[in-house]
Amino acid sequence: MPDSSLQTIFDRLSRDLARDKLIQTTTDQLRQSMNADRLVLYYFYYKWSGRVTFESLSDKRFSILGSSGPDECFNGEYAKLYEDGRIRAITNIEAEPIQSCHRDFLRGLQVKANLVVPILTERGLWGLLVAHQCQSIYHWQLAEIDAMLAGAHQLATFPSIRDS
């Protein structure tokens, strides 16, 4: 029988692997069902600072894994909107009234249209699920928004996310 410290490490690794598998499966299924170019999980590792920790891609040229967001644009004001459940569907980043630093950031990621939903736990804003269309503008359908919300809820209620 392993000692308690090894068992603790084993249990944590098992939880992390189950969480990672759920996140990857969720992002893959959402991207495929929406026919999006990219679907990512943006995880907040520190108050309003985060990075893309998971992605599902239609083409590897769209990879942004590991990239961080425009911290100067995502301040407490915007974070509060997502903490309150904000859903943001942008059909065309060039026509949307957004901050120039946000538009420039999205351009740098090859984004033409995006859909963002919060992953909310009892502790607050854990992360964001983000769908991108990189090749053309796109009008997000209600069913796609509902699917993203369901995916975010599924992730938020998974024990290793809910309790983190």
pTM, two decimals, is 0.90
The pLDDT value given to residue 117: 98
Query: Low-confidence residues of the chain, pLDDT below 70?
Result: 1-3, 71-72, 74-75
Q: Which CATH superfamily is domain 4-162 in?
A: GAF domain (3.30.450.40)
Residues in contact with 149: Cβ distance below 8 Å, sequence separation at least 6, in sequence order:
87, 117
List the chain domain ranges. 4-162
Contact assessment for residue 79 and residue 116, using Cβ atoms and an 8 Å cutoff? no
The pLDDT value given to residue 146: 98
The pLDDT value given to residue 2: 54
